[in-house]
A and B are shown apart, each in its own frame.
Chain A
C-alpha cells in the first residue's frame, strides 16, 4: 500500500485511541470527586498525562474543573484535547477515504460534527459522565468497525499498530502519574484514600473488574503488575506490545523482515514478557516507565523511517 496512506491509517488508529484515553482520565477524576466529597480534585495530574501543564497555564488563569474540562476536551489549541484528536483522526481518515470502509468514515465524521456543534461544550459540562462515555463509545465503535468491515490486510495492521502503540503509551502514563505525581510520599501507601485512588486508576483504564478477578488486594505493586505485565489484559503494556509486534510482523514480512522497528519492538516486548514486578520496582518503576516511553517514541520514529518515508 502507499506509504502516505499507511502513515495516515496508523495515525488514525493512534488519535482515536488517544481521544478515548483522555476521556477515561477525565471521567475517573470526575467520579473521584463524587467519592471524596468536600475536596476539589486536583486536575494537574490529568492535565499532565493528557496534554501539558505549560500550555494550560498559557490560556487559563487557574485550575478549576471547568477550565480543565474545557482545556482537555474542547480546546482546539491543545493538540491532545479530545476535539483535536478527533479532528486529526478525521483529517487522516479524509486523506485515505478511498482505502477505508464508508462506515468507518461516517462514524468518525458524525462524531466530529457532533463535537463541533456549538451547543456541545454546554451539554458536556451539564452531563459530563454521559458525554465522556460517548467519547469512549465512539472509540469502541470505530475499533469495532475497523475489526468488522476492513480486510485484515496491511492497512488494518497499520491501524492496529497505531492503536496498540498509543494504548501502551497512555496506560504507562496513567500509571506513572498516580505513582509519581499523586503519591510521592511513601508513608501514605495503603491508606484508605490510597485504595480509592488506586481503584480509580484501574477504572480509568477499564481494568477494575478484571483486576479484582485476579487480585484480592489493591496494592500499588499489584496494580503495577497488572497494568504493565498482565499477559491477557488488553490494555496492559505487555499485551499492547505483543499485539503491536504481531501487526508489525504482518506488515514487514517478507519484504522488510530486517526492519529496525521490528528489532526495537521485539526488545521492548520481551522486556515486559520476561521481567517481574519485583525487579521493576526495585530498580525504580518511574524510571522503567520513563524508559518505555522513550522507547515508544523511538519506535514511532523508526516505523516512520522504515515504512512511511
Chain B
C-alpha cells in the first residue's frame, strides 16, 4: 500500500496537504509506510486488531440482541497533531475549563451571571442536568469537573471548533492509552525516531488529582465507582482502577454510616475518602436523587456535603455541558476571565429562541440537529444525509419541545487516511482531549480521535459505527527524524522477517 495517489477530495486532511503530499509532521510516518513491503501494513493492522480482542478491550452496545461485546474498530494510521496546533488547543482548553468551573460555582451559589443577564435564567431552570440539591454548595478545593473530555472538530479551512463539552463522566481515555500501547508495537521504530509526546502519565496524574481532594488524610483511600460489569464502559472503569492501583467498586460494595463512606472488605469496613464515580448523577444516591436507583449508595450525598468524602466529578456538572448552555460559553469565558474564547464554538441555533427555531425549520436539510439532553450520537438528525420524511418528522419533534433541540450548520469535518479495502481513503474525524483538574490542570497530550468509518459519514460515535485512531502530538522544538534512520529501520525490519 502506498500513499502515491491519495486524494484529499477537497477536505482538510490531518496528514496530507491538498495535493496529497504529506504535511511536515506526518512526513516521517508516511515515508516509512511507503517503504513497507506490500501487504505488511495490512498484516500489522490484523495483529493490532487481535490485540484488542485478546485484551478484551470491548464495549457493549445497548439494545444489541446477541449481547456480545464488540471491539471498537481501530485503524493503525495515527492522527498527527503538530506542536503548533497543540499549543493553541492546550491554551484554549485550559481557558474553557477554568471558565466553566467558575460558571458552576456561580450557578449553584450567587447566580451573578444570571442576574447580569449574560445567560438566560430560563435555560438553567429548564436544564435537566441542573441539580437543585447542590445549591449553596462548593465542592472540595472548588473543583467541579475533575475530568473533562472536550469534543473538537476541524473545518475545511483548518479552524478548530469546540463541538461539545463533556463534564459528567466522559469516557474513552482508556482507548487512548491502549491505542498507544498497541501502536507502539505496530510502529516501534517510528516512535524512537519521532518526538511523539507520551500519554502514559495519565493514570498517575489522575490518581494525584483525586488524592488532592483529600489532602488532609494521611493515606486517602480512592476508589472508582462503576455501575457494574454490564455497563458499556465497564472495560474503561476496570482499566483505570487497575492502572491507578485502586479498588473498583459497585454501589453494593459501599455503605454510609455516620455520614462517612465505607467499603465492605474481607476484614470489615474500611473508610473511603475519594470516589471517582462513573455512575450518573441521578443514580448516585437513592435518598437524594432517583429513589429507584440500585446502582448508588444511600446517604452518599449527605456524606459528601458533610465533607467526609469527595466525588469526582461533582454532581450537577452536567449543567455546564448542556447543549443549549454551550451556545453561551464564549460569553461565559468573557464574563469570568475577561478574555475572548481561544477555540471558537460551532455557530449554534438554540430552538428555544423562536427566531432561531424558525431558521432551523426553514433550513433543516442543511443542518445537524441534536437533542440537548442526549449524548452518544443518539437523537440527532444530519440534515444533508436524511430523507425528506425524516426531516419532516424532526420538525415536529422540535416544535413539540423546542428547549430540547439545538442545530448547527454541517461542518465538513477534517479527515485522516484509513485503510479501506487495501487502499488509503480519507474518513472524517473529531478529537476528544482529556483535561484533569487537580492541584494543577493537566491536559493529556493527544486524546481520542474518533473516526466515522462509513464513507462520507460524519457521525463518529462508537455506538453508531465509529472507530478510533491513535493521536500523536509532536513535541515542540524537536527535529524531524532523518531519513537515513528510517532506511536503517526498514532494513532491520526486513531482516527480522
- A contact set with B: CB distance below 8 Å: 1-6, 91, 94-99, 102, 105-106, 109-110, 113, 154, 251, 255-256, 307-308
Q: Which of A94, A154, A255 has the most CB of B within 10 A?
A: A94
With both chains docked as a complex, state the minimum distance between the C-beta of B224 and any C-beta of chain A, in angstroms.
Answer: 8
Residues of A near B265 (CB, < 8 A) are 1-3
Residues of B near A113 (CB, < 8 A) are 53-54
Contact in complex: B54, A4 (CB < 8 Å): no
* Selected A-B contacts with CB under 8 Å, 29 pairs: A1-B247, A1-B265, A2-B247, A2-B263, A2-B264, A2-B265, A2-B266, A3-B253, A3-B264, A3-B265, A4-B249, A4-B250, A4-B252, A4-B264, A6-B266, A96-B248, A98-B238, A99-B242, A99-B248, A102-B55, A102-B242, A105-B55, A106-B54, A106-B55, A109-B53, A154-B266, A251-B266, A255-B268, A256-B266
Contact in complex: B55, A98 (CB < 8 Å): no
Number of interface residues of B (CB under 8 A): 25
With both chains docked as a complex, state the minimum distance between the C-beta of B43 and any C-beta of chain A, in angstroms.
Answer: 20
Contact in complex: B229, A5 (CB < 8 Å): no
B56 on the interface (CB 8 Å rule)? yes
Task: Knowing A3-B265, A91-B229, A154-B266, say if A97 contacts B249 (CB, 8 Å).
Answer: no
Residues of B near A110 (CB, < 8 A) are 54
**Number of A-B pairs whose CB atoms are under 8 Å?**
67
B355 on the interface (CB 8 Å rule)? no
Contact in complex: B238, A97 (CB < 8 Å): yes
Which chain B residue shows the least CB distance to A97? B238
Residues of B near A96 (CB, < 8 A) are 248
Q: How far is the CA of A5 from the CA of B253 in the complex (A)?
A: 9
Q: Is the interface of A mostly helix, strand, loop or mixed?
A: helix
Which chain A residue shows the least CB distance to B235? A97
B241 on the interface (CB 8 Å rule)? yes
- B contact set with A: CB distance below 8 Å: 53-56, 224, 229, 234-235, 238-239, 241-242, 246-250, 252-253, 263-268
Contact in complex: B54, A109 (CB < 8 Å): yes
Residues of A near B238 (CB, < 8 A) are 94, 97-98
With both chains docked as a complex, state the minimum distance between the C-beta of A265 and any C-beta of chain B, in angstroms.
Answer: 16
Residues of A near B247 (CB, < 8 A) are 1-2, 5, 98-99
Which chain A residue shows the least CB distance to B229? A95
Q: A6-B266, A251-B266 are in contact. List 7 more A-B contacts (CB 8 A).
A: A2-B253, A3-B266, A4-B250, A98-B224, A98-B238, A105-B56, A154-B266
With both chains docked as a complex, state the minimum distance between the C-beta of A153 and any C-beta of chain B, in angstroms.
Answer: 11
Task: Knowing A3-B253, A106-B55, A113-B54, say if A97 contacts B239 (CB, 8 Å).
Answer: yes
Contact in complex: A94, B229 (CB < 8 Å): yes
Residues of B near A154 (CB, < 8 A) are 266
Q: How far is the CA of A110 from the CA of B56 in the complex (A)?
A: 9
Which chain B residue shows the least CB distance to A113? B53
Q: How far is the CA of A23 from the CA of B302 in the complex (A)?
A: 53
Q: How far is the CA of A1 from the CA of B263 in the complex (A)?
A: 9
Residues of B near A106 (CB, < 8 A) are 54-56
With both chains docked as a complex, state the minimum distance between the C-beta of A253 and any C-beta of chain B, in angstroms.
Answer: 10
Which chain B residue shows the least CB distance to A8? B229
Which chain B residue shows the least CB distance to A3? B264
Task: Knowing A97-B238, A98-B239, A98-B247, say if A307 contacts B266 (CB, 8 Å).
Answer: yes
Residues of A near B264 (CB, < 8 A) are 2-4
